Amino acid sequence: MKIHKLALGAVALLMIGQASAHNRWILPSHFNLSNDKGEWVMVDVTASNETFNVDKPMGADKMKITGPDGKSVRPGSSYRGHRKSVVDIHLEQSGTYQLKMGGDPSYWTSYQLKGDDKKHWLRGVNKLQRQAKLPKGAINAQTIESYANVVTYITLNSPSSDFKTTNKGLEFVPVTHPSDVAQGEKAQFKFIFNGKAQAGVEVEIVREGVRYRNDPNGLKLKSDKKGIVSFTLEQAGRYLLMAEHESEVKNNPQADTVGGQIFLTFEAVLD
């Protein structure tokens, strides 16, 4: 469990420190299903920069599955391999299921040493703890409280939309239902930060199959005053949405800044 947490944290650290670390995503076998007798889905969980080719394992034991009634759903079975984890889930009720990892804060303290431009990091060290942990002569100490949400939605029969927010860090709020995004139709997603609509969230949306084209063709957007991004995807397919936002905070004894990331997987249905 501890190792798992550290591994996740290390990825988060890299994300903050440099833009080129691993993305994480949950990719279900199906986003939309029809059946009056329930359905099975299988879900891949991985840390990978190739959308959607798996790369590094990421434990799925912390994945929270929330059913349409708001109650948590237990997975059938799971397997952790060297490139991905796989989770089997039986959907019994009609409606939309939320699959989510993350949501817990992690703390990262950065500092520099005199005469050295390099940023050093202390993981799992918050602002209250850092004085004791920083080496002698450390300058420019900064602590970030980081939240990352890796999330996807699966709908059996009719979609439902009772998704609770934690109001901590950056969160995704559907305007267009995530199971109702279609090729050639305008869609809108909203982002909240600490529970409030957040302008200026940096969003990138990448279609699957990046390995087989030269230009990843990521769609780059920024949320408006209402925290909303609007887009029309011309091609059907599976997409990874990445969103990031960081801001300074006062009145938080544990950190100087709060950062949030979202990795949302969804499909644009063929028209």
Partner 1 sequence: MKKVFILLALLSLLGVSSVSEAATEFKIELNLPAKSGEYHNPYVAAWIENAQGQSVRTLVLWRDGAKWLKDIRRWWRKVGRKDQNIVDAMTSATRPAGSYQLNFKAVDDQQQPLSAGNYVLRIEIIRENGGRSMTKQLFTLDGESHQFTLAKSYEIAQSLFIIKE
Cis peptide before 231 (omega within 30 of 0): no
Six-digit token string for 104: 């817990």
Q: How many residues bind partner 1 (CB under 8 A)?
A: 17
CA angle centred on 102, ends 230 and 181, rounded to 5°: 25
Q: Does 32 bind partner 1 (CB under 8 A)?
A: yes
Shortest distance in whole angstroms from residue 91 CB to partner 1: 12
Q: Does 6 bind partner 1 (CB under 8 A)?
A: no
Q: Considering beta carbons, is residue 6 or 270 the nearer one to partner 1?
A: 270
C-beta separation of 235 from 268 below 8 A: yes
Q: Considering beta carbons, is residue 109 or 155 the nearer one to partner 1?
A: 155
Shortest distance in whole angstroms from residue 268 CB to partner 1: 11
C-beta separation of 170 from 245 below 8 A: yes
Of the candidate residues 131, 140, 158, 235, the single one contacting partner 1 (CB under 8 A):
158
Q: Considering beta carbons, is residue 31 or 107 the nearer one to partner 1?
A: 31
C-beta separation of 108 from 140 below 8 A: no
What single-letter DSSP state applies at residue 211? G
Site for partner 1 in 127-156 (CB under 8 A): 155
Of the candidate residues 39, 88, 202, 246, the single one contacting partner 1 (CB under 8 A):
39
CA angle centred on 98, ends 93 and 101, rounded to 5°: 140
Tell me how far apart the alpha carbons of residues 261 and 171 are, in angstroms, rounded to a whole number.
8
Shortest distance in whole angstroms from residue 271 CB to partner 1: 6
Site for partner 1 in 166-195 (CB under 8 A): 180, 182
Q: Considering beta carbons, is residue 33 or 63 the nearer one to partner 1?
A: 33
Tell me how far apart the alpha carbons of residues 267 and 41 are, in angstroms, rounded to a whole number.
15
Of the candidate residues 17, 34, 79, 226, the single one contacting partner 1 (CB under 8 A):
34
Tell me how far apart the alpha carbons of residues 22 and 7 are, in angstroms, rounded to a whole number.
12
Shortest distance in whole angstroms from residue 186 CB to partner 1: 11
Per CB under 8 A, residues contacting partner 1 are: 30, 32-37, 39, 155, 157-159, 180, 182, 269-271
